[in-house]
Amino acid sequence: MEIHYEDRMSDSDALMWTIEKDPALRSTITTTIVLDSTVPRELLTQKFERLSRVIPRLRQRVRSNPLSIAPPRWEYDPNFDLHFHLWWVKAPGKAQMRDLLSIAEPIAMSGFDRARPLWRAVVVEGLPGKKSAIIMKIHHAVTDGVGGMKLQLELFDMSPDAPEREMPAKPTIHVLSQPERFADAFEHQRKLQLDMVKRTATGVLGTFTSALSDPVGTLSSGGELAASVTRTLRPSSHPMSPLMTGRSLSTRFDVLTLKLDETKRAAKAGGGKLNDAFVGGVARGLYLYHLAHGIDCDMLRMAIPISVRTPEMENVAGNAFVPARIELPVDAEDPRETMRQVRELVQHARVEPANDLIEPLASIINRFPTSTVTALFGSMVKTVDFTTSNVPGAPFPIYLAGARVLSQFPFGPLAGAALNITLLSYQNDLNIGITSDPAAVPDPDVLIASLEKGFDEILSVA
C-alpha cells in the first residue's frame, strides 16, 4: 500500500502547529511497545534507517515562511542524523511497567527541535525475561492515530521469520531558495483559491436551485450551519469538573488493559458498539473519582476526535479528524443508559454540519495573528475535562526483527485538558493509555481504581 505525502501541511495541521506557541497546547503522541526479546542494536538501527527512507515525514522538517500565508512546507532535512532520533537506555529500578512509564513521561513532556524531523524512538533494554521496549514519540501534525497504524505497517512484520525488506535509496535533497519558496507558496495559494472558487460556485448554484424549490428549507439549512459553526468554535470560561481544574506542563502516564471480546459483549448487550462501552467506562470511572472526593458531579466536558477520513483519503498521510467537544452526563446509575447517552451524543457530533468546513475554517483562522489564534484555542481546549480516543490496532500478533510485540500502549496529548484516555486494540487486548496532568489529578492511584470500577460497571452488562 503506497501512502501519498503532500509537500505542505493542511490548514488544520498548520493550525495545530501554530498554537504550540503555548507549550500547554503541544500535540505529541507517545507509544510504548513491549517486545518479548531484545533486538540487536545494529539490526534495529537498520530497521529504522529503512523506515526513515520509506516514510518521508521521518526525514522531513517543517519550514515556515513568515512572509507567506501558505501553510508550512515539509522539506527533507539536509542534516538528518538517525542517531539524534534513535536512542538506547537501560531500564531503571526494578524494570517494571511503572519504571518504563517513568522514562516515557519526560520524553513526552519535552518539546521537539523544530529544526529537525518531528519524531524520536528510545529503546529500553534490560527488562525482566530479556524483554525490551521502544518508546516512540511523534508530533500530531505528522499523522493521526489511524494514519499512525498505517505507518507502523512499514516497521512491523506479520511473522517472526519474515524476509528482510528492500532498503530504498536515500531521498534526493533540495533546499529551496527564497525565490523558489515564494514561487511555490504562490502556486499553492493559486491552486487553493481556484479550488475554493469551484466549490463556492457549485455551492452557490446548489443553494440557488434549492432556494427556488424549497426556500424555507434552504434558510433553515443555512441557519443550522451557522449554529453548528458557533457550537464548534465556541469558547468556554471554565472546566465543568469542580475538581480537575488545575493545569500545568507536567504529565503522568498510567495503563489499563481490558479484554476485547468481553467489552464487545457488554457493548452489544447495551445496544451499542465498542466505543460506547469504552467511553461509558471512562465516564462512570470519572464520576466515581469525583465521588471519592465527596463531589457529586453530573456532567463533564469531553473532547473526542471525529474521523473525517474518506475512502479517497485512505492512503493520504496526515490528519483527518475534527476535535469535537461534548458535554457528557456521567451520573447515570444504569450502565446501559450511560452507553446510550454516549452513543447519541457522539453520533450527533459526527453529523455536525461544520465538520465539512474544517479546512476552510482553519484557512481563515490561520490568517489571524498567532497570539490571537493561540488565545482562541486555549479558551476552547483548556476547559476540556477529558479527551478520549479509540484506535483500532492489529488483530493478530506482529513482530519486529523476530521479536514479538507483547503490548502497545498509546498516550495522547493533553493539549490543555486534565486527562487524555486513549484505547489501542491489539489481538484480544484493549490497551488503554492514561495521560493525566498532576495539577488536575494529584492522586493517580485513586483515579485508576475509579476507572477500573467504572469499566467493571460497563462489563457487568454482558
Q: What is the DSSP letter of 4?
A: B
CA distance 223 to 163: 58
Whole-angstrom Cα distance, residue 433 to residue 258? 12
Q: Is 50 helix (H, G, I), strand (E, B) or coil?
A: helix
Q: What is the CA radius of gyration of the chain?
A: 23
* Cell numbers standing for residue 411: 498516550
Task: Given the residues 85, 139, 140, 290, select the one marked as catalytic.
Answer: 140
Q: Where are the beta strands (DSSP E) in 128-266?
A: 131-139, 252-259
Is 188 one of the catalytic residues?
no
Which three cell numbers, joined as nine digits, stand for 38?
531484545
Q: Give DSSP secondary structure letters for 361-430.
A: HHHHHTTS-HHHHHHHHHHHHTT--EEEEEE---SS--EETTEEEEEEEEE---TT-SEEEEEEEETTEE
| Closest C-alpha among 416, 410, 391 to residue 303 | 416
| Contact call for residues 341 and 328 (beta carbons, < 8 A) | yes
Interatomic CA distance for residues 423 and 275, integer angstroms: 9
- Which residues are designated catalytic? 140
